[in-house]
């Protein structure tokens, strides 16, 4: 399946370790009829994260209005209307899972007048209403640079505002043709400068980028007020998606980590299986977090 780069190297072999805690997480998510990006994006860390009792909630359904070529999430121009009960269901699940740090993300909903921003706000408020101690990380879409929509979510002051640039600018047309690199940087800058939020972004590597391009993007993120960064290997979800150009070695991931730390990031995660929500709680100031 991974045509461009050939056979998967040993360091990308996943150790499957599911047990009672994995089943409990799955049952709870199913009981609340909740969607997760863990499942929708076919995340390689699903077994590990669910066994640890954590997950990343996917808001606004499972169908995205964009056609990014790396992403396994389903796509259509007119997805179903969002479930108005979803905010409450997510809040109840977070309470049941006893999460100290909750990570939310959503499909991109360019079909909605506000991109789904009000639904995001309702979800954040529902969570805090019943679990006020939980810290919330919002991995948001770009809301088509709609400032009102961005401000709606940012005004809720999530403990972490995450928005992925995903790749270097030279690959945008190939990887995420409906997105805009500069707009993503400006979103992060808005979160920092106008709302004083802790900001985070992420990059996939192995798509044809060079180390020099990664270095430039890391500097771009720093100049736009980004505090934390994640760097992980792109994996092709199916034969219909972009092939992997190259498997980045663990040593190269170490070099990217050193590069990012030298650029000035407060927290860096860099490794083959790193995803933007992987061990997300460990990147915040609450060292007791389980997520
Ligand atoms: S890394 Fe994030 S998306 Fe992947 S399984 Fe863990 S919580 Fe889910």
Q: Which of 272, 245, 257, 204 is nearest to 4 (CA)?
A: 245
CA distances from 271 to 11, 52, 71, 131, 151 (A): 10, 19, 19, 32, 32
Q: Is 55 in the pocket of ligand 1 (CB under 6 A)?
A: yes
| Nearest by Cα to 220 from 266, 263, 177 | 263
Residues 117 and 120: their CA atoms lie apart, in Å, by: 5
109 near 86, Cβ under 8 Å? no
Residue 289's pLDDT is what? 34
**CA distance readout (Å), 98 to 61, 101, 159, 266, 291:** 23, 9, 17, 27, 10
The pLDDT of 136-155, averaged and rounded, is: 98
Span 88-144, pLDDT tens digits: 999 999 999 999 999 999 999 999 999 999 999 999 999 999 999 999 999 999 999
How much of the chain exceeds pLDDT 70, in percent? 95
Of 289 and 93, the structure prediction assigns the larger pLDDT to 93
Q: What is the pLDDT of residues 242-281, one digit of tens each?
A: 999 999 999 999 999 999 999 999 999 999 999 999 888 7
Is the beta carbon of 230 within 6 A of some atom in ligand 1? no
Per DSSP, the chain holds a count of helices (H) and strands (E) of 10, 9
Res 156: pLDDT: 98
Contact 197, 245 (CB under 8 A): no
Does residue 106's CB lie within 6 angstroms of at least one atom of ligand 1?
no
Average pLDDT rounded to a whole number, residues 277-290: 63
The Cα 40–Cα 153 span in angstroms is: 23
- pTM, entire model: 0.93
Is pLDDT of 149 > 50?
yes
pLDDT at 194 over 50: yes
* Per-residue pLDDT, 286: 44
Q: Atom 1 (ligand 1): residue with closest C-alpha?
A: 278
pLDDT of residue 60: 97
Q: Where do the domains of the chain lie, and which CATH numbers do they carry?
A: 16-283 (3.20.20.70)
pLDDT score of 4 more than 90: no
Question: Can you give the pLDDT at residue 284?
Answer: 67
Give pLDDT, residue 281.
79
Q: Using a 6 Å cutoff on CB, does residue 73 contact ligand 1? A: no
**Nearest 10 degrees: CA dihedral of 74, 75, 79, 80?**
-10
Mutate to test the pocket of ligand 1, among 14, 17, 21, 37 (most ligand atoms within 8 A of CB): 37
Of 45, 37, 41, 42, nearest to 18 by C-alpha is 45
Q: How confident is the model at residue 282 (pLDDT cuts 50, 70, 90)?
A: confident
Mean pLDDT over each residue of the chain, to the nearest integer: 93
Q: Token pair 């409990």 is at which residue?
A: 24
Nearest to 43 by CA among 32, 53, 56: 56
- Beta carbons of 175 and 149 less than 8 angstroms apart: no
| 234 pLDDT tier (thresholds 50, 70, 90) | very high
Lowest mean per-residue pLDDT among 13-22, 127-136, 196-205, 228-237: 13-22
Q: What are the tens digits of pLDDT across the range 10-34?
A: 999 877 766 788 899 999 999 988 9
């Amino acid at each position: 399946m991974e045509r461009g780069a050939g056979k998967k190297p040993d360091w990308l072999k996943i150790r499957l370790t599911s047990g009672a805690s994995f089943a409990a997480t799955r049952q709870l998510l199913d009981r609340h009829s909740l969607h997760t990006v863990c499942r929708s994006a076919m995340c390689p860390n699903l077994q590990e994260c669910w066994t640890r009792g954590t997950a990343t909630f996917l808001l606004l359904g499972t169908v995205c209005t964009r056609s990014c070529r790396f992403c396994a999430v389903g796509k259509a121009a007119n997805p179903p209307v969002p479930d108005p009960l979803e905010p409450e269901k997510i809040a109840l699940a977070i309470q049941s899972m006893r999460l100290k740090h909750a990570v939310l993300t959503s499909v991109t909903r360019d079909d909605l007048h506000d991109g789904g921003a009000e639904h995001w706000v309702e979800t954040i408020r529902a969570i805090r209403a019943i679990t006020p101690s939980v810290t919330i990380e919002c991995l948001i879409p770009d809301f088509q640079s709609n400032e009102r929509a961005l401000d709606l979510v940012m005004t809720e002051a999530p403990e972490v505002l995450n928005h992925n640039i995903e790749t270097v600018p030279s690959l945008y047309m190939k990887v995420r043709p409906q997105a805009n690199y500069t707009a993503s940087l400006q979103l992060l800058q808005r979160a920092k400068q106008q709302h004083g939020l802790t900001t985070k972004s992420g990059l996939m590597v192995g798509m044809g980028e060079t180390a020099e391009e990664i270095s430039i993007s890391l500097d771009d993120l720093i100049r736009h007020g980004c505090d934390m960064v994640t760097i992980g290997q792109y994996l092709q979800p199916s034969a219909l998606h972009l092939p992997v150009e190259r498997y980045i070695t663990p040593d190269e991931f170490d070099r990217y980590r050193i590069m990012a730390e030298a650029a000035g990031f407060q927290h860096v995660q860099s490794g083959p299986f790193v995803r933007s929500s992987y061990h997300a709680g460990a990147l915040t100031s609450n060292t007791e977090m389980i997520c």
